[in-house]
Amino acid sequence: MTFPEYLSANPMMFAVICGVLGLLIGSFLNVMIFRLPVMMEREWREQCEMLLAEDDEDVNELSGNDRFNLAKPDSRCPKCKKPIAFWENIPVISYALLRGKCRHCQTRISFRYPLVELITALLSVAVALHFGFSMQVLFALILTWALIALTFIDYDTQLLPDDITLPLIWLGLLISLGNVFVDSTTSIIGAVAGYLSLWLVYQTFKLLTGKEGMGFGDFKLLALLGAWLGWQMLPVVILLSSFAGAIIGISLVVFKKHNKDKPIPFGPYLAIAGWIALLYGNAIVDAYIKLTF
């Protein structure tokens, strides 16, 4: 029996492997969640400074900025600047061994880091158990990990980076050629309908109130979900995201005294709804039909 055949015949072992992989990916997602918005801000600032530069010397000076991307610089404690050793980066375990503090200066490490790793692992296990050892599980894991990153980035910064959403839109359209989740026609219509539906809501709200109710990143995120799940699933995603937004938004205001005048990003709710629809969308639609007809 080959290893793929073994995994196919043992779904629990496959789920455990996906869970461990999820922990490792979650560690990388923590880096992406923190660094990608900073990279975007640095890029915008550099572009603005280059436009304002009056001579080539200014441009050359700007090009010498310190390298900052998902790989460099190496991870360091934000307070004491001491490098973080490899054994201090073991997902969840290192946080527990260090008792949530920097080894050098004892500065408290945010619980966000092991939380993201655990969420990624648990959702990866859920995807593995749902789809089994198949081509679908590979792409479902990619989408799951991307949605986790987008959720936390948007929550922190109210940004949905094109570096994540645009490649995922194209990937969703591409895999539709093989009917991985939906066929090409359904995928293309889903991407267009997803973008235009929120764009029309945005334009209508702006016309009536003179304010911007959401960002363009939300349009792209729903287009992404439409490309992956098809246009038929868009009503489910919108309804689930609205429900999640209402529950979580009210909870934030009531229990955390969130400023009602401060906008709450819609991207996390779309991401949550999209992931639920990925696994259970068809079951939700079937249950609704049975209840209403």
pTM above 0.85, yes or no: yes
pLDDT digits (tens, 9 = 90+) for 24-75: 999 999 999 999 998 888 888 888 877 877 555 554 444 445 677 777 777 7
More confidently predicted of 152 and 258? 152
Q: Tell me the mean pLDDT in the region 68-93.
A: 77
pLDDT of residue 62: 47
More confidently predicted of 46 and 151? 151
pLDDT of residue 100: 81
Locate tokens 């986790």: which residue? 148
